Chain A
Amino acid sequence: MTALLAAQRVHLRPAGSERDVVRDVSLAVAQGEIVALVGPNGSGKSTLLAALGRSLRPRAGAVELAGRDVWQVAPRAFAREVARLPQDPVCAEGVRVDQLVESGRHPHRRAFSAPSPADRAAVRDAIAALELGDLRARSVETLSGGERRRAWIALALAQETPVLLLDEPTAALDVRHQWDVLARIARINQDRDVAVVVSLHDLEQAAALAHRVAVLHRGRLYAAGAPERVVDEAMLRDVFGVEARVAKEDGRIRVQVLRPADPIRAL
């Protein structure tokens, strides 16, 4: 498999930070592949996604899109290849769902021209794919958390990019809506052969969704590979600091957290 989007030995320092939050990390995603990014809070997941999404320039190393340094690609051209959904996206009060989704067409539209039939079709498809038809005329701030997340994913989908970067798309959702969002991501990946890099907190969800799991630990890549190879008891102890039992049931990886690995911090 050839890499579509790849970080190569990147060192990353977010604006305002005094030190490199991500150090010497390489990570690639191929066409049609889902890579789940996991790691404790502050391990550098969002920072790495920002660099992959060309909004943070690496201090060392490079991010390449089909072999080309992403900083050599114009912003709009890049936005036709890679869509990034940030962790807590917000829009002004009163923006309607269809207007929000339509802004995903910006990189495809020519200046000073009305939306083309292709633009309208992409917006329609994205709204249909996330079942937002009944909500399209509603203001985004009046939606529930799950609906709102779907509206933002629809925006990224309307960009019709071969690569999708999603920063904790399940955060702050209840369990049912978490699985709902994951199922939709899997569906988008299958139907459109889109490469997805998604950061997640739930290891079972990451293992169920992704072809590969990449574990970040204190800004370094601890491991990356097939879920059953990466998600194990040693990793949970080293990276997350918990004693856990990892088992395989019905083809699914189950993680049962027992206690903090450090006895002093035990309850």
Chain B
Amino acid sequence: MRAAAAAIALRSRRLRGHPGALAAAFAALLALACLLAIAAGAVAVPIAEIPRAIADATHPQHAVVAQIRLPRVLAGAAVGAALAVAGTLLQAAVRNPLADPGLLGVTAAAGAAGLVAIVLFPEWPALVPIVAFAGGLGAALLVLGFAYATTRPVGPLRLVLAGVALQSLFFAAIAVVTFLFADRAPAFAGFVVGSLSGTSWSDAAIVATATALGLALALGGARWLDLLLLDDASASSVGLSVRRARIAAASIGALLAAGAVSVAGLLSFVGLVVPNAVRIAAGPTHRALLPLAALAGATLLVLADSLARVAAAPLELPVGALLALLGAPYFLWLLARKVA
């Protein structure tokens, strides 16, 4: 295990500076993960059969593959990519590698807003992602506004602390809503822990669109994100409007996180773990980091969701719980490695 980790670390160090090769390797891994995810489940589909099962409407497994697994895999990949990219953006916005969409209160706010929409307008399910998005963006702006609405020097730490405070506020709101509307608790459970169970094509379309848009915006702004790797005085000395760049990065991060939350609920750790792991292999500059984090996040979530489906079959674990179980120890290992 140790030797394998060392070999991977060595290889990734050699691959550093070759983002093209890394991207190809990551894309191949994602493709493999998607095939596995489509193949595995209560009804096993041989990998060789998958193309036919998708294309041929008379194939016995066509319904399972085309209507259930394919949208779920697509949504899983989009959610994973969105969370990883959102984490990367928010880490740049607060210049702290420990930031993630959850820590800034963005996912909690999107989740609370989504829950309120479920309760108030049960007949309008399409409203949930829109309201969740507005909630996430609102939280991001609130955190940024609070951190800047003072004459004292603005440190990224203020942003994080403001986010932590807001996060507990919105978790309280979630708890209150869940308690008051306990009759709808089953609908909430998956949302609060994070799950891709019962994902439809329209869910997949929403999150894939938000993810593609957010990723395109983030990649377009890669050069500005790189300047946020410098301290404020140095970044503004080369002509960056630091405040505007921070707000833009956090807003795009909120777009991505809100899109992911609206479909998959409150998934933790993807946004924190993936960018930090990819940074080791690809370095901190965003033109390489963003696409690689997107691919790695997508792969992680597709694999984790497959595992959640088959690990305790016929029961299905919520993927959010599984991710936290895997993510927390891995992150502690990353920290220990850094200290050493």
Contacts and interface: CB of A to CB of B under 8 A. Distances in A.
Interface in B147-177: 151-153
B58 interface: no
A106 B227 contact: yes
A89 B283 contact: no
A86 B284 contact: no
Contacts of B238: 79, 83, 103-104, 106-107, 155, 159
Contacts of A95: 229, 283-285
B246 interface: no
B95, B220, B233, B241: most-surrounded residue (chain A CB, <10 A): B233
Contacts of A218: none
A191 interface: no
Interface string A91-105: 111111001100110
Contact of A107 (B153, B239, B279): B239
Contact of A93 (B151, B220, B223, B284): B284
A124 interface: no
B239 A89 contact: no
Q: How large is the interface on A (under 10, 10 to 19, 20 to 34, 35 or more residues)?
A: 35 or more
Contacts, number: 82
Interface string B229-272: 11101101111110000000000000000000000000000000
A76 B241 CA distance: 9
B231 A91 contact: yes
A137 B13 CA distance: 13
Contact of B239 (A78, A100, A152): A78
Contacts of B226: 99, 103
A109 B230 CA distance: 18
B152 A75 contact: no
Contact of B152 (A15, A50, A53, A80): A15
A141 B226 CA distance: 16
B292 to A, nearest CB: 14
A94 B284 contact: yes
B240 A89 contact: no
B234 A86 contact: yes
A57 interface: no
A58 to B, nearest CB: 15
Contacts of B97: 92-93
Interface string A160-185: 00000000000000000000000000
A83 B230 CA distance: 15
Contacts of B231: 86, 88-91
A199 to B, nearest CB: 14
Given A84-B233, A92-B229, A75 B241 contact: yes
A91 B237 contact: no
B241 A89 contact: no
Given A89-B230, A112-B220, 12 more contacts: A79-B237, A83-B237, A83-B238, A84-B237, A86-B234, A89-B231, A90-B230, A90-B231, A92-B284, A96-B283, A104-B238, A106-B238
Interface of B: 17, 95, 97, 151-153, 220, 223, 226-227, 229-231, 233-234, 236-241, 279, 283-285
23 contacts: A16-B152, A16-B153, A55-B236, A83-B238, A84-B237, A85-B237, A86-B233, A86-B234, A86-B237, A88-B231, A89-B233, A91-B229, A92-B95, A92-B229, A92-B230, A94-B279, A94-B283, A95-B229, A95-B285, A99-B226, A99-B285, A103-B238, A106-B239
